Amino acid sequence: MYSSVSNADDYFATQFNTDVWSNATIEDKEKALTQASRLLDLVRYKGAKTSPEQQHEFPRNGDATIHNRVLWACYELAFKILQGVNKTDTPQKAKRVKLGPMEIEVDSSSSKVSEEYPFLEKDIFELIKPYVLPATQTSQTLDVVRC
């Protein structure tokens, strides 16, 4: 896990409408945080782990701590997991429905970021976006400077 249940409880104590988190058991919170951490580790990030032996993708690039934005993303994703919102098998939405003379067109924009990360909603992705390797970039490059 990227963080403890206690730290997540402190985070949610400053948020509105978090009854799902508050009413969850400690065991369920731990499971949600563990699953959220694992999902966040599936994202391709810029740079490298601080230590190759570390369990998770953060900290990175020599940092000793995990950035708050990553922790917040983990908490928010864990919350959505507890809500049952985070599903990778999201059904397709109808774009247009016609019932007799009445026709309704639905906004087809999704709250999901992309096909690459279907488990991340936009609000969560925005938190980690500064650290994410662009989808078009498959590998990192290093500038070589001759001395």
User: Does 96 have pLDDT greater than 90?
Assistant: no
Distances (CA, A) of 25 to 2, 9, 34, 44, 73: 18, 12, 14, 31, 20
User: Does 117 have pLDDT greater than 90?
Assistant: no
Average pLDDT over residues 107-135: 79
At 32 the pLDDT is 97
In angstroms, the CA 145 to CA 102 distance is 66
This prediction has a pTM of 0.75
Confidence tier at 103 by pLDDT (50, 70, 90): low
pLDDT digits (tens, 9 = 90+) for 2-11: 999 999 999 9
Confidence tier at 105 by pLDDT (50, 70, 90): low
